[in-house]
Amino acid sequence: MEKTVLTTRPFIPPGIDHLVSEARLHQSFACCVLPLIPLRAEPTEKSEQVTQVLHGQLLMKLTHQEAWSLVRVLDDGYEGWCATKQLHLLASEEALLLFESPRVLTVPPTCSCKTLDGRAILPAGSRLLPGEQVIDKGITDEQRDPVSLAMSFLQTPYLWGGKSVMGMDCSGLIQVVFALCGLLLPRDASQQVSIGTRVPHLGMAGRGDLAFFQNEAGAVVHVGLLLDGEHIVHASGCVHIDRWDEHGIYKEGSATYTHQLQQVRRVQG
């Protein structure tokens, strides 16, 4: 198994700074020391998963209800409920120093690591914590390229709220890929569409641009990564490649569109 890591100091988009300021006042911190933690909409195992916290990500604990804690992910401000026993509490100084320091992230698909709690297989995009060890075989140019990174997730099954090779949704794929390139994007497609600049003409759209798709009401509900002017990689059913044009996404050899294009945006750190 390939074991490689990437060290990066992320570009943090506008809107994240206030989370750090609020966290300094709140002073109730935790981090994920498991491979990942599911966050749910409500404090029950029966509730839907809204996102996943990857190993090494920092959290602010907002409140608790019996065996559950409502937490906020410091990287993107996303909130959800998790089992309190899954959290590893941190002192505020330790947490903020870790948040602001360069990040060592594991690259796709997975990485075997000696973690604080023992040896574990970590999903791509996990952050190594101080004292954790991994065999570093170096980073190739492809592992710094969003398109190449996205292609490494091909055939990953679709999972609502997922962010790992075991299952991911459309915006989870985009968030993980760009985090590996040093850019912290928001969690949902409806939030990601506010990042970067709009490509004014579709003839100018190309490799690495983000294409956003809308429902009948005009709301952004899907996102994918352009491979070129004709092909897109996205998570729908599984992570795969489809064709796209000015109308949206369609299957090869089919006249039926599965997603309606709203706009294309270019994200640069």
Q: Model's pTM, two decimal places?
A: 0.87
Give a yes or no: residue 123 inside a domain: no
How far is residue 156's CA from residue 110's CA, in Å, rounded to a whole number?
13
Q: How many domains does the chain have?
A: 2
Structural domain range at position 222 = 143-266
CATH value at residue 97: 2.30.30.40
pLDDT at 15: 52
pLDDT of 104 reads 78
Q: Exposure string (b/e) for 109-124, b if CB count within 10 Å is 16 or more?
A: bbbebebeeeebbbbb
In a domain, 57, yes or no: yes
Provide the b/e sequence for 157-169 (b: ≥16 CB within 10 Å).
Answer: ebbebbbbbebbb
Point out the domain boundary residue: 57, 81, 106. 106
| Domain-embedded: residue 251 | yes
Judge contact between 150 and 157, C-beta under 8 A. Answer: no
Asked, for residue 27, whether it belongs to a domain, the answer is yes
Please give the chain's pLDDT, 269 residues, in tens: 344 555 555 545 455 555 556 656 666 899 999 999 999 999 999 999 999 999 999 999 999 999 999 999 998 999 999 999 999 999 878 887 787 777 778 876 777 776 666 677 888 888 888 766 555 554 554 557 899 999 999 999 999 999 999 999 999 999 999 998 888 899 999 999 999 999 999 999 999 999 999 999 999 999 999 999 999 999 999 999 999 999 999 987 777 999 999 999 999 75
